[in-house]
Amino acid sequence: MITVYHGSVITVKQPIAKAGRENLDFGQGFYVTDIKEQAERWAFRIGRQQQEIPLLNIYQLDLDEVITDFSYLKFSRYDEEWLDFIVKSRKGLKPWAKYDIVEGGVANDRVIDTVEAYMNGMMTVEMALGQLSQHQPNNQFCLLNQQLIDQCLQFISVEQIITNMLSDLLMWNKIGRIVMRLSEKLEVSPLRALDVFYMSKVCDRLHDPETELYIFSDAYIVDEIMMELYQS
């Protein structure tokens, strides 16, 4: 068993292999990494883009069972085989289609500049591999087979991975969006909607980390407030 991580802004207890895009590094699958800091960086990035709280989903992956029962491809370094695989994936040629899981280096922002330069004929393969050898190693697993996910990946927990200052900022942003939605639903001013929000039990639940209400969508939380109003 190894511990793997998935950075996101939502809790993912039951991953779906086919939920992602096809033309990613290793294909259309559920991506995890055994490097915690890498998953945290990805969660921060998504959190900034969507103005949501970054979360770290934690799993146990039975790699022994994966290797025994499934088709497993591993790239140990940035080499010509890895580069060829990434290029074919990004061209939509689906080199991953015959595998259940693929492991190897990530084509992050810096790496992808080199890959795209090679794809556009601006670098030879030797030049591209020379550039890639200078990048800090990282790692990812793409789980392509739903049976593998159901059988070998066990959800353990989810953690909030941000500082208190950033948490407060993101929470204020979330509350602002909730209040504007509530204002439209109730057809009242934003100021009145803010009063309604702060008087609700939902507000208390939102600020209680144990309820995990903060990971739900703004629309869901507004619906919870409306339901509370109807029942009062």
Determine the average pLDDT of the residues in 148-168: 82
Let me know whether 23 and 112 are in one domain. yes
Same domain, residue pair 135 and 185:
no
Higher pLDDT, 53 or 13: 13
Q: Where does a domain end: 160, 180, 201?
A: 160
Q: Are residues 131 and 203 in the same domain?
A: no
Domain that holds residue 222: 164-231
Q: Are residues 179 and 105 part of one domain? A: no
Task: State the Cα–Cα distance between residues 58 and 40, nearest whole angstrom.
Answer: 11
Per-residue model confidence as pLDDT tens digits over 113-146: 666 666 677 777 677 767 666 555 689 999 999 9
Average pLDDT over residues 98-115: 77
The pLDDT of residue 169 is above 70: no
Residue 85 or residue 168, greater confidence: 85
Task: Tell me how many domains the chain contains.
Answer: 2
Question: Last residue of some domain: 160, 179, 213?
Answer: 160
**CA distances in angstroms from 194 to 48, 150, 202, 203, 230, listed in the order given:** 24, 43, 12, 10, 17
* Mean pLDDT of all residues in 61-78: 93
Quote the pLDDT of residue 28.
93
Whole-number pLDDT of residue 217? 86
